[in-house]
């Protein structure tokens, strides 16, 4: 599933079909914007995000959140795509439980036949 066109680009957010299957991510890392956005929407402060992702600077975190606010269709589609991959793999997040390992997905670019 392709993501919508990014209407408002941001300097610290990149999209590369070879990285995270084209999901927007913070430049210089492989942190998907959807992850920061989900934490923030669930009540995490910017300070908490900076502690949780110590390799990211304040400008990167704030720009990623601004990207999410400026491109809601992209965020909704990216989160829906992640949920579909979780469902397809038989995994589902459990509320209130922190996963003990990182789940790896094989994001492959959409093929046009």
Residue carrying the six token digits 């066109």: 5
Q: Where are the domains of the chain?
A: 13-89
| Integer-rounded Cα radius of gyration of the chain | 14
| Mean pLDDT of the chain, nearest integer | 83
pTM (whole model) above 0.85: no
Distance, in Å, from the CA atom of 28 to the CA atom of 36, rounded to the nearest integer, reads 15
Which of 3-7, 55-59, 79-83 comes out lowest in average pLDDT? Answer: 3-7
CB count within 10 Å of CB 24 equals 25
Class of domain 13-89: mainly alpha
User: So what's the pLDDT on residue 110?
Assistant: 52
Q: Where are the alpha helices (DSSP H) in the chain?
A: 33-41, 46-52, 58-70, 72-89
């Amino acid at each position: 599933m392709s993501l919508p066109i990014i209407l408002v680009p941001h300097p610290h957010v990149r999209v590369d079909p070879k990285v995270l299957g084209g999901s927007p991510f913070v430049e210089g890392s492989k942190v998907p914007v959807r992850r920061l956005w989900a934490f923030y929407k669930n009540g995490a402060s910017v300070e908490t995000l900076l502690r949780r992702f110590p390799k990211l600077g304040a400008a990167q975190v704030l720009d990623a959140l601004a990207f999410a606010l400026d491109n809601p269709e992209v965020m909704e589609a990216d989160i829906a795509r992640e949920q579909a991959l979780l469902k397809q793999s038989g995994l589902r997040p459990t509320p209130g439980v922190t996963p003990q390992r990182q789940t790896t997905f094989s994001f492959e670019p959409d093929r046009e036949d």
